[in-house]
Amino acid sequence: TVDNLAPIATVFDMQNNSTYRTNKEGKTLRISAKDNIALQYVTIEVDGKTNRIWSGKDVNKSVLSTKLKPDGFTHDVLVKAADYAGNITTLQYKNVRVVSIANKLVEKSEADKKSKNSESKDADSSDDSSDNSSDNDDWIARSQVKKSEKSFENADSFKRKPVNYMEIVAYIGAGIIAILCVALVISVILKKKINVSKLF
């Protein structure tokens, strides 16, 4: 009989366009492969290069496992399972990325440092602005005090200025004299007119 049945292969926890976070040892890749008669080999290729080969007694294990390094780059992973009749089953996963948790923690700590630095800068700027505002408030308060002092001085000077009654009496007397002079002139003129009219 001719064996036309290809092996059955399964890769656990692996998908296209996926990122996996793991420790520095790498991501564990687990494979299950079976054949109706016997497996010849199982291989894993990363970007076209052989990563691991199982053959002989090792290929008959229920689960085959290997590690993918956490280099942070995207890779294409190809799994092949072949039997002695030449039947091959292939499973391909594109754009697989493995990232170390340690690198992620470093990135997070750096991000935290940056955020703390920005917060401290904001706090310093707010302190400076508060200091400036307090200085402005002090300057305004001092200017208001000076204005109030000047207003009090002006009020005191106005109150302290003595009233010169003699000048007032002199002005009144001069006014009365002027009025009397005008009245006298008018009376003289009227008398002259009366005398002239009597002559005619």
pLDDT at 101: 87
Its pTM stands at: 0.52
Instruction: Average the pLDDT over 56-61 and give the result.
Output: 93
The least confident of 78-82, 104-108, 157-161 is 157-161
Give 167-189 pLDDT, tens digit per residue: 787 778 888 888 888 888 888 88
- Listed by start position, the domains of the chain span 8-100, 164-195
Write the CATH number of the domain with boundaries 8-100: 2.60.40.2470
Instruction: Average the pLDDT over 69-78 and give the result.
Output: 95
Q: What is the 3-state secondary structure (H, E, C) of the chain?
A: CCCCCCCEEEEECCCCCEEEEECCCCEEEEEEEECCCCEEEEEEEECCEEEEEEECCHHHCCCEEEEECCCCCEEEEEEEEEECCCCEEEEEEEEEEEEEHHHHHHHHHHHHHHHHHHHHHHHHHHHHHHHHHHHHHHHHHHHHHHHHHHHHHHHHHHHHCCCCHHHHHHHHHHHHHHHHHHHHHHHHHHHHHHHHHHHC
pLDDT at 138: 64
pLDDT at 91: 97
Residue 158 has pLDDT above 50, yes or no: no
Residue 11 has pLDDT above 90, yes or no: yes
pLDDT at 132: 56
Instruction: Average the pLDDT over 96-122 and give the result.
Output: 69
